[in-house]
Structure 1
Amino acid sequence: MPTRQLQAAALAGIPPLLVGDNTIKMLVAAQEGTEKTYAVIVKWAASGNAALSGLTLSQGLLSPAFALNKTVYAASVSSGAYTITVTPVAADSAAPIQVRKNGGAYVSVTSGRSSESLPVGVGPKTLTIVITTQNGAQQTYRLTCSNQLGYGIFGPCLVGRGVDAGFCGGSA
């Protein structure tokens, strides 16, 4: 039987680990009453996982369906849709996510939360989603959104609502 016993540690008082070295001190008391403090250094490496684990839209469907190995998507939204939000979920919850539309300014989005409303109109709009990890790795996702309202030889056409895309000048 060992001559020393480790006192139970109250883990509630230990702060969360940070990237890099974290020193955790432990007090060990022997049965005869002597005590000694030990330091354990826990190194937490910065994450390099810049992937999304999920991506959903407020309207329309992703094509193809979200998959971990896909970074390029398309979506068709209904003709009455004027805005869309995206909800990206980072595989590493600490990795910041940014979204931009058509090369505009990037806007920060919290993982698992909806973006601000992004305007969509007739014609394709490209949404770019960038995830940056703690160690600087980045992954870019592209989503091309199209409104089902097209313009044909007689003005606006509602493609997919009984009107052939050819009649609408081939736009969809």
Structure 2
Amino acid sequence: MAVNFLFRCLVGSIAIIAGFVYFVLATIPERDQSLGLACGLLFAAPFPVVFLITHQIARWASPVAGIVSLCVIAVPTAMFAVPGVVASYIVGLLLTFWWIPVGTSHAAISSVIERSNESSQANATASVQQYVFDCRDKGFKDTEIKEQLLNSGWCKSEVEQALLAAHF
């Protein structure tokens, strides 16, 4: 019976690790699989091993200790094995996609932010220029337009740039 129980624990542990390995291999891109797998196994492997060793030592001490170890160790192991695998997968992903290519990622993100800022700046400048054109069509002078734009919260440099661009 004890051998049967240990065998089931071992098979269950192997199944957890095998399921995790399959999950990593199925979801992480091929070039990053080895790192994600290594990180995941590093975090996931201790759960079944600690359980088996501790339970066996307790069973050798006495039958009561074996039952206590089963309750005290098996339940937390079962509770933490699956979250541990998930957590290790997340850590593996973070290490793979954030920590390793950190220079590339930060450069790409800052490039996107910079392009977005340039785009919004260009849109803002275009809207100010259109406002300048509309005001000129209505007969307002540049000094009046400049004053209105500055009072509405536009930066002095943006206003001057829009007025200059509207001359052409």
TM interval, short-chain normalised: under 0.3
Structure with the bigger percentage of helix:
2
- State the TM-score, normalized to the length of structure 1: 0.24
Structure with the bigger percentage of strand:
1
Structure number with greater Rg is 2
- State the TM-score, normalized to the length of structure 2: 0.24
